[in-house]
Amino acid sequence: MPDRGGGPTGPRIRVGRPSRRVRTLLMTLGVLAVLAMAFVMFAGFWTDWLWYRSVHYSSVFTTTLWTKIGLFFVFGLLMAAAVGVNIWLAHKMRPPLSAMSMEQQSLDRYRMGIAPYKRWLLLAITSLVGLIAGASASGQWRTWLMWVNGVPFNQKDPQFHLDVSFYAFDLPWYRFLLGFGFAAAVLSLIAAALTHYLYGGLRITSPGARATAAATGHLSVLLGTFVALKAVAYWLDRYGLAVKSSDFKATGNWTGLRYVDANAYLPAKTILFCIAVICALLFFATLWRRTWQLPVIGFGLMVLSAILIGGLYPAIVQKFQVQPNEQAKEAPYVEKNLKATREAYGIDGTDVTDYPGASTTKDKTKLRDDADNAASIRLMDPNVVSPTFQQLQQVRNYYGFPSNLDVDRYSKDGKDQDTVIGLRELNLQGIPKSNWINDHFRYTHGYGVVAAKGTEADSEGRPVFTEYNLPSRGDLGQYQQQIYYGEKTTQYSIVGGPQKEIDYSDDSGEKTTSYKGKSGVSLSSPVNRAAYAVAFGEPQILYSGAIGDGSRILYNRTPKERVEAVAPWLTIDGDAYPAVVDGKIQWIVDAYTTTNGYPYASRTTLGDTTADSLTAANNQRAVVAQQNQVNYIRNSVKATVDAYTGQVKLYQWDTKDPVLKTWMKAFPNTVESKDSISPSLMAHLRYPQDLFKVQRELLTRYHVKDAQTFLSGSEVWQIPDDPTNKSGDAVPPYYLSMKLPGQTSQVFSLTTTMTPNGRDNLSAFMSVNAEAGTGDYGKITILKLPTGRTVDGPKRVQSQFNSEPSIAESIRLLKGGDSEVEYGNLLTVPLDGGLLYVEPVYVRGGDLKYPLLRKVLVTYGGSTAFENTLGEALNKVFGANSSTVPPENEGTTKPPTSNNPTVQEALNDAQKAFDKGQEALKKGDWQSYGEAQKDLEDALKRAEDAQSKADKTTGGSGNNADKTSDNADKSGDKGSSGG
């Protein structure tokens, strides 16, 4: 009989051996290759550790690392042990002799071939499966940490009456363990079966029994383990029904139990669990009975039951019980879904009120005055005027602004002003000469904030800047202006060493600086330099003379990257925005905690829900978490990133969120309390757009509370397409300070409109209080329009604008030559029961490659106006003049007036001189510009003198002349910077 151990060895064949020199060379090359690979892996690890230490979040790195390592070794060893032990057992149980057959003679060759390497082969197989299993398990570090640190929601699901934390934190971990158990059982079964077959325990064509008693018992236990795990799976599937997604034609995407789930699938899973347990016991019983008959019958019964009970029976229930009376059967489960979905997305407190959609006031003057107070109408669209900022305030080609600016509010003289703001960030495409030194040592940062009033334009249609020039100056006071961290700053920079950086340039030439912050990683150590040279694939980092004492490398420089890195358990909003806070530029980043394990709450895909016409038009406004499906979300963290130091701070915003509390247990001391938010920072926090987009998408269906109405689909709304462009994408929400019905003053809000499904008339106006720190922050209000009356939606309003003959002719004239017309944001403002629509219209004309505000479109109650200013358009729409004083310079070409004729004459001369200076500026005629500035100064001096004389006579004040002088001086400064 063939040798079971190794077989005959045969004659030795001598093969020529390489020389000692060749062997030494090969060995040296091998060692060097191993060392190089080891250093590459070390470089990645070491640079990550250095970065986390530099931002003072090393605990995040170590917690994550040790969790991954622990999971890798524990589950890797478990898998290796499971497979290895079963291979060893199968080998140990091999029969002493094998029947002489062609099958066994063929297998003998393989047995003899592997006999000398059995231990090594066993080690290789177990190591391979262990590595794969360990790598897979290490990717479950979030699941593990949430299970270990889970905090109760103190809310129970309506079906099983378990705390929501079971579904959010426990069930995902149990499912992972179950999946790991299935993998271990299947791999062990395959490995054991192959070993038994190789050594004769299993036979296919040989005469006699097909399996030895030892092989039968061994494989039966493994099959019994598999079936037992299937029983556990059936039991967990019962709870999984509460978070199961399915298509439901009445509502679309559905999560939770329906009638068929509760009355067919749930009992079916319980029955299948019992059958699987019995079947598993039958497999285990083969250890004593040594026959496959009963286990095979049991397994067949389980498969048949799965088909009949788990598949056919629910289909019969759905067909003959549910479909004939669907609304009555499904209504109780829909009510559970409605309640859970509204709670999970934070929309359960939404205030839905009826709104007439038409004004009842006949007093036109009152309506006109109310229009001035209803909202701070934003004429500067932050998504349109970026090129204007670029042209007038770029100053140097190596600066740039994002294509979508941001809206914030700043206080002046005790009044809040909606402000369009952007940072003058570094743009490497604009540097004079690109090379390694310039790209990474000389041009390292942007400089200064540029801000403009959101509600006004100057006489040329340009923004009225409140912060301008280089260095920036204006209403924001003194602050650290260098911008080392920003949305456009994606390359690494090496700062603080012997190589000076370009700070900014003015009329006296270039100013240089050297970074004084503590951010970044020191390159003083040769090990650090070598590690970064490998990590960044740039060998010059290792030997460049531009790197010396004090040199630090800055990277991961966008606010989103930094917050994602220090808090990998958060989902980051797509739009970080800057604010000047306590003398520093701070990036404010909204962050979310999410889960897809909230029972009965319908799921949504964040990437789809947060997409709109802005995200489709460019890459500046990102969408959040492209493919993440969630059914619970909270804006639980507000984060800041210092634009100079890169310091990241995380603040607890939602103090009740159990998901955030869970992560704070897992990563202690990483999130500061809400009380740590300073009042100056609180003034700039706002309600995040991406959360609002998710909520508005859910509210298109979940604004109703009645199950019958929900099932009928008669009240389903949709987000209208953006009417100002032809992208076909959803209209974005807009920030706007406005006053809703019942409110006594304007509140900074985030607003949107909704239309009926498949139609263009208006169904609802939705807004949320976006002013952080107020009692009603986050309160969502929906003004529901009557279904019996057609109220024009955004698309119809835009069509009405375009079809008005006089407006169409004006648009045609504006497009004359090579000019282009751009429509700004179509703003909707509730006003006295009706809806006021306002849309700024911009023109890019002639050689100007940037948009200027030229016209304002306004409609209310079917009346439409297309005028040079908002005030004129409102006057025309309402057929009356406002009795209130309009905002200074509100889209007008005239200076403020005075009752004194002499003052007025001087002011008129000042306006003419200013206009003359602007024309000269456009032509580059600096001599004429200087003369105009002198005339402007003389005219303002005459106005001031005349007003002073009038004041002495009347006891009044010269405020009008002073304001005109200030505005003219500021406009002159902006004009020179724009040149």
For residue 82, what pLDDT is reported?
95
pLDDT of 894 above 60: no
CB 574 within 8 A of CB 583: no
CB 153 within 8 A of CB 658: yes
- Residue-wise pLDDT for 695-715, tens only, equals 999 999 999 988 888 888 888
Token representation of residue 450: 């540029």
Residue 769, H or E segment: strand 764-769
pLDDT of 243 above 80: yes
| Residue scoring higher pLDDT (967 or 320) | 320
The residue type found at 126 is T
Q: Residue 436: phi, psi to the nearest 5? A: -60, -40
Considering only CA atoms, which of 465, 689, 425, 429 is closest in space to residue 559?
Answer: 425
pLDDT of 926 above 60: no
pLDDT of 802 above 90: no
- Residue-wise pLDDT for 327-353, tens only, equals 888 899 999 999 999 999 999 999 999
For residue 895, what pLDDT is reported?
38
What confidence category does residue 447 fall into, taking pLDDT thresholds of 50, 70 and 90?
Answer: very high
The stretch 425-434 carries a mean pLDDT of 89
Find the range with the poorest average confidence among 58-67, 456-465, 614-623, 878-887.
Answer: 614-623
Assign 835 to helix, strand or coil: strand
Half-sphere exposure of 776 (CA within 13 A, CB side): 14
The residues facing 418 across adjacent strands are 409
Assign 463 to helix, strand or coil: strand
- Residue-wise pLDDT for 814-827, tens only, equals 887 778 888 998 99
Token representation of residue 113: 């071939």
- Residue-wise pLDDT for 384-420, tens only, equals 999 999 999 988 888 999 888 999 999 888 888 899 9
pTM score, whole prediction: 0.84
Taking all residues of the chain, what is their mean pLDDT, rounded to a whole number? Answer: 84
pLDDT of 125 above 80: yes
What confidence category does residue 797 fall into, taking pLDDT thresholds of 50, 70 and 90?
Answer: confident
For residue 890, what pLDDT is reported?
46
| Residue scoring higher pLDDT (111 or 295) | 295
pLDDT of 883 above 70: no
For residue 903, what pLDDT is reported?
64
pLDDT of 778 above 90: yes
Cβ-count burial of 74 within 10 angstroms (0-12 exposed, 13-18 middle, 19+ buried)?
Answer: middle
What confidence category does residue 278 fall into, taking pLDDT thresholds of 50, 70 and 90?
Answer: very high
What confidence category does residue 978 fall into, taking pLDDT thresholds of 50, 70 and 90?
Answer: very low
Task: For residue 559, say if its preceding peptide bond is cis, omega within 30 degrees of 0.
Answer: no
For residue 170, what pLDDT is reported?
96
Query: Distance of CA 308 to CAs 246, 311, 728, 754, 897, Å?
Result: 21, 6, 47, 46, 87
For residue 17, what pLDDT is reported?
62
Percent of the chain at pLDDT exceeding 90: 50
For residue 298, what pLDDT is reported?
81
Considering only CA atoms, which of 835, 686, 838, 680 is closest in space to residue 749?
Answer: 686
Render 560-623 in DSSP notation, one character per residue. HHHHHHH-TTSEEPS--EEEEETTEEEEEEEEEEEES--TTPPPEEHHHHT--HHHHH-SSSPP
- The C-alpha atoms of residue 75 and residue 81 are separated, in whole angstroms, by 10
What confidence category does residue 460 fall into, taking pLDDT thresholds of 50, 70 and 90?
Answer: confident
| Residue scoring higher pLDDT (938 or 181) | 181
- The C-alpha atoms of residue 379 and residue 369 are separated, in whole angstroms, by 18
- Residue-wise pLDDT for 3-24, tens only, equals 334 444 444 444 456 677 777 8
Percent of the chain at pLDDT exceeding 70: 86
pLDDT of 965 above 60: no
- The C-alpha atoms of residue 822 and residue 843 are separated, in whole angstroms, by 6
**Chain centre distance of CA 467:** 29
What confidence category does residue 897 fall into, taking pLDDT thresholds of 50, 70 and 90?
Answer: very low
| Residue scoring higher pLDDT (955 or 819) | 819
